[in-house]
Chain A
Amino acid sequence: MSTYTEIRNQANAAWQAVQNPARPLVRVGISTCGIAKGADKTCEQLRELVAARGLEIDVGITGCIGLCYEEPTVTVTLPGGTIVLYGRVFPAAAEAFLEAIAAGAYANDFTIATLKGRLPDVPPIEKHIFWRHQVRRLMAVCGVIDPENIDEAIAAYGAYAGLNRALTLSQEQIIKIVSDSGLWGRGGAAFPTGRKWDFLRVARRTPKFIVCNADEGDPGAFVNRTLMEGDPHPILEGMAIAGLATGAEIGYIYIRDEYPLAVKRVQHAVRQAEERGVLGQNIMGSGRSFEVRVVRGAGSYVCGEETGLISSIQDSRGMPRIKPPFPANAGLWGLPTNVNNVETLANVPWILRNGADLYRAVGTQRNPGTKMFSLSGHIQRVGVLEVPFGVPLRAILTENGGGWPEGRHLKAIQPGGPLGGIMPAEGLDVPLEPDPFRKYGVLMGSGGFIPFDETACIVDMCAYFIWFCEDESCGRCTTCHNGSARLTEILRRIQAGGGRPGDIDLMRLIIAALPWSNCVHGQATPTCVSNMLTHFRDELMTHITERRCPAQVCRGLIRYEVVPERAADAAPAAAICPTGAIKARADGGYEIDQALCIKCRACKERAPEAIRVVDAFAGGAKPIAQPETLRAPAAAPRIAAPAAGD
């Protein structure tokens, strides 16, 4: 068995050739998001071209650096150690890119910044707008090292040094350091990690289990994937440290099915860590053991709830169960278990390496450290970043993210997945900490931010989130599976032009019933609808009483028409219409057969001048009279029985 020093020395030897290569080392960011934009093909092309031309260049891989909007990204490490980052190296551009590199033209059309060292005409990454506010601890080497080579993680920042230190400490000492750091669970519940570990430590029965929740199911959140694909080792190391602190010798990492590359990278990392002796039996000769098993999910959102995840691992359907007992007392196979989020665990080695005080050097008093966030939706720059707690949400959305599409304005922000709710645009100035978000009735959640501009309809987005919750309900509680189904029905009826004034009370009734569900899935399902009633009530009422969708999204409330004076230009619209609804008239113009039109918008895309969208009920239709009760909303939500036959 090698000691950590021996392992690190061996890793350092391999690292020298990467850090200061004899010839340029080209690395393509191979991640799920990179591959979506052709990074794998770029990499293949570069390899083929280098081989065919006998160039003095090496080609390798790395993970996503967080600049998803620049992908495929490529880094080039030059002899001497300078690292340059390049973007938009699409497969078709691979040859031009390679020729520039081979000719020594390192500052070229693809150049973004230097990651390390300096180069004339190339700004350092610290000056890059996407780097603003960032403190990259977890992401320090994402997009820099080869995530499939453990030696690089060990040499670059000392992966498994935290575990090595933990081996010399008592359980209480490890937990004290983690507690002193102020680390809390990043999965959404924000529970102090040290305390959670202590529950498991004092549990009497054995064996005990550490479970890493890598079922990042919130659509629009992809921070855990970035970490698993970019640098998986701190997650495994954090699990092993948790094991030492609590007396668990077996860990499960449960990764969602939608992340096959993350599954592959983590499995590979586990194998390499076992080979090096930093995981498995007799870790680094200490006599202590920790085994990691990788479980791949199969497509179920509710498995992200900790008891659902436990059910899913232990050979069954992913049905959450009633708490208490909490997993620390009765988890996997009824035995003591801790379930921790990927990002929580990945923070632990950093804390063990650098100490609790240094950990608290960034962030706020109550929320020390950093948090990773992903940006998507109506935003200029899609990507992943890591910032200290307390940075204003506005800063990362408008500076790093570049704000909303040009000429549009912000309408709302969806912070924490489908259960997290919808925050009005006024919330833009909240600091990135859990509590300020609660003031708006929403959750900061696990890390995905999705801004909506004015082209989004809040009723439509609520219909989507509630449908999602219905579709992913495990089916145990009637409140949850039936409540979400009823909410979906009501919202879709409103979208179809059949809104009734009584729908508000009906929705309030369901909102009041859902918190009686067993798990957080049902409990939090109505969050977005509550937010809509509070913050977007006018928009909802316009749908119901005027049968009008201000954003012109809801299909039952709009109609497509041929602009009479531009009717001659509608030929491309007629050609694309999937139902043949756009018919040529004898006079050479076109008209839309409303009975056939499905309102898919393709015609307007193809003939934007000739086609217009109008409110279906404008003019002719009579708005529904608004009853007295709705003009002055009751102070407290009134729980009324739904009208008969509703």
Chain B
Amino acid sequence: MADAKTVLRYREILKPFKPDRGDLLGALHAIQHEFGYVPADAVREVARQLRMPEATVFGTLSFYAEFRTTPPPANTIMWCSGPACRLKGGDLIRLALETTLGIGMEGETPDREIGLHLGQCNGTCDCAPQIWFNGRVVGPLQVADAIELARALLAGERDIAKIVPHAVH
């Protein structure tokens, strides 16, 4: 259970959101924006604020790909699943990242330092094939670049411009 201070913080964040006007997604985004995920005990507060069953809130939370119910890893590699990337070897980049990091899509390393997340095309296709590292586009990448990137991240390097300078703008 969340401590009283956290509950008060949830309520403060949720104050602008009102029942019956389509505010649920906004409320969940606001919680996730601050905490990095939507904690289970925030579900209760959202339900109370918007006067709806907790099951409705949880049902919505679990429907969408971009809501998290667990804290995010320290660093996230979001892999672009889009068609322009796939045509240029994006699928092999996924394979290389998963193999080198030893984790699957939506997984994270045991030390919670690096996680893999499936991303959707947002039209930055001039950089295809690409990933996002902590929200920033990195591309175009060769498969070999992705392997070097994953190896360096496992070794503790975080300045990815040092690893794949041609793909970081």
Nearest chain-A residue to B165 (Cβ)?
A: A92
Q: Which residues of B contact A576 (CB under 8 A)?
A: 144, 147-148
Kindly list chain B residues whose C-beta atoms are within 8 Å of the C-beta of A450. 83-84, 87
A-binding segment of B1-9, B64-72, B107-115:
B64-72
B120 CB → nearest A CB, Å = 5
Q: Which residues of A contact B64 (CB under 8 A)?
A: 257, 297-300, 318
Chain A residues with Cβ below 8 Å from B119 are 258
Q: How far is the CA of A432 from the CA of B84 in the complex (A)?
A: 21
B159 within 8 A of A: no
Contact (Cβ within 8 A) A377 B56:
no
- Please give the distance in Å from B23's CB to the nearest CB on chain A: 7
B121 interface neighbour in A72, A219, A456, Cβ under 8 Å? A219
Does B169 contact A377, Cβ atoms closer than 8 Å?
A: no
Nearest-CB residue, chain B, relative to A450: B83
**Residue among A72, A257, A293, A468 having the largest count of chain B Cβ atoms under 10 Å:** A257
Pairwise interchain contact A602-B144, C-beta atoms closer than 8 A: yes
Question: B75 on the interface (CB 8 Å rule)?
Answer: no
Chain B residues near A456 (CB-CB < 8 A): 87
CB pair A220 B59 closer than 8 Å = no
Nearest-neighbor residue (CB-CB) of B127 within chain A: A36
Asked if A91 and B169 sit within 8 Å, CB to CB, the answer is yes
Q: Which residue of A lies closest to B123 (CB)?
A: A222
Q: Please tell me if the beta carbons of B67 and A298 are within 8 angstroms of each other in the complex.
A: yes
Contacts of A464 in B (CB 8 A): 83, 86, 91
A299 close to B65 (CB less than 8 A): yes
List of A residues within 8 angstroms of B142 by Cβ? 602, 605
* Least CB distance, B161 to chain A, in whole angstroms: 11
> Are B59 and A316 in contact (CB-based, < 8 A)?
yes
> Shortest beta-carbon distance, A474 to chain B, in Å?
8
Contact A252–B22 (Cβ < 8 Å): yes
B152 close to chain A: CB less than 8 A: no
Whether B143 lies near A601 (C-beta < 8 A) is: yes
| Inter-chain contact A316/B96, CB cutoff 8 Å | no
Query: Considering only CB atoms and an 8 Å cut-off, how many residues of chain A contact the other chain?
Result: 67
A300 near B123 with CB under 8 A, answer no
Assembly CA distance A606 to B148 (angstroms): 12
A33's partner among B59, B66, B124, B147 (CB-CB below 8 A) is B124
- Of the candidates A36, A296, A374, A598, the one whose C-beta lies within 8 Å of that of B29 is A296
Cα–Cα distance between A460 and B87 once the two chains are bound (Å): 9
A378 at the interface (CB under 8 A from B): yes
Q: Which residues of B contact A394 (CB under 8 A)?
A: none
A316–B83 CB distance below 8 A: no
Chain A residues whose CB sits within 8 angstroms of the CB of B139 once the complex forms:
36
Q: Which residues of B sit under 8 angstroms from A600, Cβ to Cβ?
A: 92, 95-96, 99, 143, 147
Contact (Cβ within 8 A) B26 A32: no
**How far does the alpha carbon of A3 sit from the alpha carbon of B59 in the complex, in Å?**
47
Chain B nearest CB, measured from A377 CB (Å): 5
Are A68 and B125 interface neighbours, CB within 8 A? yes
A468 touches B169 (CB 8 A): no
Which chain A residue lies CB-closest to B22? Answer: A313
In the assembled complex, the Cα of A460 lies from the Cα of B100 at a distance in Å of 23
Complex: how many Å from CA A313 to CA B169?
A: 36
Report B-chain residues with C-beta under 8 Å of the C-beta of A317: 59-60, 63
Other-chain residue from A37, A68, A313, A377 in contact with B87 (beta carbon distance below 8 A)? A377
Q: Are B96 and A376 in contact (CB under 8 A)?
A: no
Question: Does chain B have a CB within 8 A of A362?
Answer: no
- Interface: A452 (CB within 8 A): yes
Q: Are A578 and B63 also in contact (CB < 8 A) when A225-B123, A374-B123, A378-B87 are?
A: no
Contacting pair A217 B66 (CB below 8 A): no
Cα–Cα, bound, A366→B86 (Å): 36
B63 A605 Cβ-Cβ under 8 A: no
Asked whether B144 lies within 8 Å of A217 as measured between CB atoms, the reply is: no
A38 within 8 A of B: yes
Chain A residues with Cβ below 8 Å from B122 are 32, 222, 225, 258-259
Asked whether, in the complex, the Cβ of A298 is within 8 Å of the Cβ of B66, the reply is yes
Q: Is the CB of A461 within 8 A of B86?
A: yes
CB contact between A299 and one of B120, B143, B147 (< 8 Å): that residue: B120
CB of B169 within 8 A of CB of A90, answer yes
Contacts of A72 in B (CB 8 A): 169
Q: In chain B between 58 and 107, which residues have their CB closer than 8 angstroms to a CB of chain A? A: 59-60, 63-67, 81-84, 86-89, 91-92, 95-96, 99-100
Known: A220-B83, A598-B95, A601-B143. A299 touches B60 (CB 8 A): no
| Residue interface bits A57-77, CB-to-B below 8 A is 1, else 0 | 000000000001101100000
Highest count of chain A CB atoms <10 Å: which of B87, B89, B143: B87
- In the complex, A414 has a CB within 8 A of chain B: yes
**Least CB distance, A405 to chain B, in whole angstroms:** 10
Within the complex, what minimum Cβ distance (angstroms) separates A212 from chain B? 13
Asked if A41 is at the interface of the complex by the 8 Å CB criterion, the answer is yes
Q: How far is the CA of A97 from the CA of B95 in the complex (A)?
A: 40
The minimal Cβ–Cβ distance linking A456 to chain B, given in whole angstroms, is: 5
Q: With an 8 A cutoff between CB atoms, is B14 at the interface?
A: no
Identity of the chain B residue whose Cβ is nearest the Cβ of A33 in the assembled complex: B124
Using A219-B81, A315-B22, A414-B83 as known contacts, say yes or no to A578 and B127 having CB atoms under 8 A apart.
no
Whether A41 contacts B169 by the Cβ 8 Å rule is: yes
How far is it, in angstroms, between the C-alpha of A77 and the C-alpha of B137 when the chains are bound?
29
Name the residue on B nearest A332 (C-beta). B22
B43 within 8 A of A: no
Interface flag for A157 (CB, 8 Å): no
- Determine whether B42 belongs to the interface, using a CB cutoff of 8 Å to chain A: no
- Residues of chain B contacted by A598 (CB below 8 angstroms): 95, 99
Expressed in whole angstroms, the Cα–Cα distance for A600 and B169 within the complex equals 25
A455 CB contacts on chain B under 8 angstroms? 87
A252–B26 Cα distance when bound, in Å, is 13
Identify the 3 closest CB pairs spanning chains A and B, nearest first. Answer: A222-B123, A38-B169, A299-B65
Give me the interface of A with B, judged by CB distance under 8 Å. Answer: 32-33, 35-38, 41, 68-69, 71-72, 90-91, 217, 219-222, 225-226, 252, 257-259, 293, 295-301, 312-318, 332-333, 374, 376-378, 382, 414, 418, 450, 452, 455-456, 460-461, 464-465, 468, 474, 576, 578-579, 598, 600-602, 605-606
Using a CB–CB cutoff of 8 Å, the interface residues on chain B facing chain A are: 20-26, 28-29, 50, 52, 56, 59-60, 63-67, 81-84, 86-89, 91-92, 95-96, 99-100, 119-128, 130, 137, 139, 142-144, 146-148, 150, 169
User: A222-B121, A225-B123, A600-B95 are known contacts; what are 14 more A-B pairs with Cβ within 8 Å?
Assistant: A36-B124, A36-B126, A37-B137, A298-B67, A299-B66, A316-B59, A317-B59, A376-B126, A378-B87, A452-B87, A455-B87, A578-B150, A602-B92, A605-B144
* A–B pairs, 20, beta carbons within 8 Å: A37-B124, A37-B169, A68-B125, A91-B169, A220-B123, A220-B125, A222-B125, A258-B122, A296-B29, A298-B25, A298-B65, A299-B65, A315-B50, A377-B83, A382-B84, A418-B83, A461-B83, A576-B148, A600-B95, A601-B143
